[in-house]
Amino acid sequence: MAFYHWYSNRVTVQSHPVVSRTHQSVTDFLDRSTDTSIIDNFRLDKVGIHHFAEKIRKHELIERKTQSGLPVETQLMVALSFYSSGNSLRSLRSTADLKLSLGSVENCVKNVSVALSSLASEYITNSWETSSVVATKQGFLDYGGFPGCLGAIDGTKIKIRAPSVDEDAYVGRHPGHYINCQAICDHRLKFLEASVRWPASVNDSTIWEHCSFREELGLFLASKPSDYQGWLIGDSGYAQREEMMIPYLEPDSTAKVKYNGRHKKSRCVIERAFGALKSRFRCLCKESGGALMFAPDMACAIIVSCMVLHNYCIERNFPMTTSEHVKKSIELENIANVSIRPPPTISQSDKTLSIRGIVARNKLMVTHFSSKKRVRQ
């Protein structure tokens, strides 16, 4: 089951008439291009382009545009070019050597984004099968030395143009307007869950409280023995719970310092995932030249589309095209998360859960970090 949320029913795409014209065969363009150059410019190889072209071919918006004379592969490649470069829509008019109108380019990006985001349940998903859970826990243990980790959670801000409705809600700590995207990833940087619909003024803890993955995780843990070790790892912006391990704000022992160190190393996986996402798809990185110049609903569709493609690239082991961009994007994510955030306000009804969470964290600290014994699963 996928854990992906946004107001898809609010997305509307204006349909503009397209003048019939003869287009150069996209197949010819792909045939004479190497996979390396295709990946550099579109982030997918030829197999990947054909794969997603078939996936979205029957989508209502894509089918309508195809009947107007624009092949689905062309529509997809225009959108991929925008995602990967972050360039202005006007500069994409010659994608794949085609001469497209600005209206056609804009429609391609919008239509493909709606179509790709509808595939989120297939590509942004988590398996609760025993073998998959064991592999994830072992992956985090091998990477950062933190036991029982089922995923790392955090939020990242994606800059958008100023919305015409509820503008103030999209203003956060930094100048500009942002979508607050919360995600959970595994040790491979693959997204297991994405909650992409919240304005910047909503904090990460609140997003988590309304996330369906939280319920799924609770049901999974409820099916296990009481001493089962399984939790997410998050920063201090989340409340300490039995299913959510956060760092000690004031570690006063060697064991707590060791716990924090391994927690930090393991949790940085989600920062690396966001960094890789923004590096691979430069339209999401404000350092590449600005913001997503779309209304919030369409911006959410674009963000989710990039996450769908990112997970596909992880599964196919596609290399990152520019290591310096990866490094820079990860550095930016680290800077955004470098300060220890104050813990969220805990209501009276949550105090019992908080106490149980603190007890669980202390037990984990004593069991795995208070001696020189090797950390065990």
**Cα end-to-end distance, the chain, whole Å:** 26
3-state secondary structure of 181: strand
Joined tokens for residue 187: 């040790």
pLDDT for the residue numbered 111? 95
The DSSP symbol for 292 reads B
C-beta neighbour count of 28 within 10 angstroms: 11
Per-residue pLDDT of the chain (377 residues; tens, 9 = 90+): 444 444 444 454 454 444 333 345 677 888 888 989 899 889 999 999 999 999 999 898 888 877 777 889 989 999 999 999 888 777 777 666 667 888 888 999 999 999 999 999 999 999 999 999 999 999 999 999 999 999 999 999 999 999 999 999 999 888 899 999 999 999 999 999 999 999 999 999 999 999 989 999 999 999 999 889 999 999 999 999 999 999 999 999 999 999 999 999 999 999 999 999 999 999 998 765 568 999 999 999 999 999 999 999 999 999 876 544 545 555 555 544 544 555 555 555 567 788 999 999 999 999 999 875 544 44
d(CA 235, CA 40): 34
18: phi then psi, degrees, rounded to nearest 5: -115, 130
Going from the C-alpha of 171 to that of each of 34, 207, 252, 288, the distances in angstroms are 43, 16, 37, 20
d(CA 43, CA 280): 7
d(CA 284, CA 290): 9
Choose among 213, 228, 243, 242: nearest CA to 126: 213
